[in-house]
Structure 1
């Protein structure tokens, strides 16, 4: 039996000061486990039928953040999560992460506030690595070891092959 996995493309967006742009998913989004109030994750989303990963990434970034990118960013991380409760109607999901360097900007995408709310996107925020590493709040990060992964990316540079991630 083959698994039905939802595929998505996400962007690790870093500004000139190495701050990373994350979006906050709030309940009842499937990425928000019981007990957490929200999850901070990389912008991006599902790949639609007939769409390739980079086209989906460009569309999602334009819709959510207003960032328009034309180049082919490097593929830095690959994540497979097999869990029936993680993506409704699927057995899990595949997230492919791409690195985008840009100048700092205020996220303002094509989506209205109502459309963002329908996607359970509650906020956008630029984070410093130290803020993520020391975050004491009730929210989680996705991937859970985001601080370690960002540290590796910033110190070692773009990997030759995408790094395989856990949850």
Structure 2
């Protein structure tokens, strides 16, 4: 099921981000739109290939030949329409499988329409904070990429460097 509409709901900044990512001939820095600050959950610098995507699909692929390889990579996670209890289970599924311990860093994108009806402090950020407490890797969140609007483009499969001090996400030139 398609969960976003790139025709009707695609704002100008999101379009520009997509076209820039598709046409980048030189290294470039990912930027959130104005008014959306990239935030830091855990400090550090990391580099590796950017992998990941929709959290429910990452979880569903576990135990198959298609499960995400996170070893030495930057893991991007976003979600739409899942409850906080489901997100909690997915976080611990990845943690218990060693996927979070083995990655170089984590970027948390949009968690769009993810209801939390029972406990207000039970948020995706608090779930990740608890799960990652004993893992020493950089983690940034509020990355405006996923299923929401604005929806900035991240280049999955590209070499990525993240630095929490400068709150930067930089990509090398893509090999075409």
Which bracket does the TM-score occupy, shorter chain normalised? under 0.3
For normalisation by structure 2, the TM-score amounts to 0.25
Higher strand fraction: Structure 1 or Structure 2? 1
TM-score, length-scaled by structure 1: 0.26
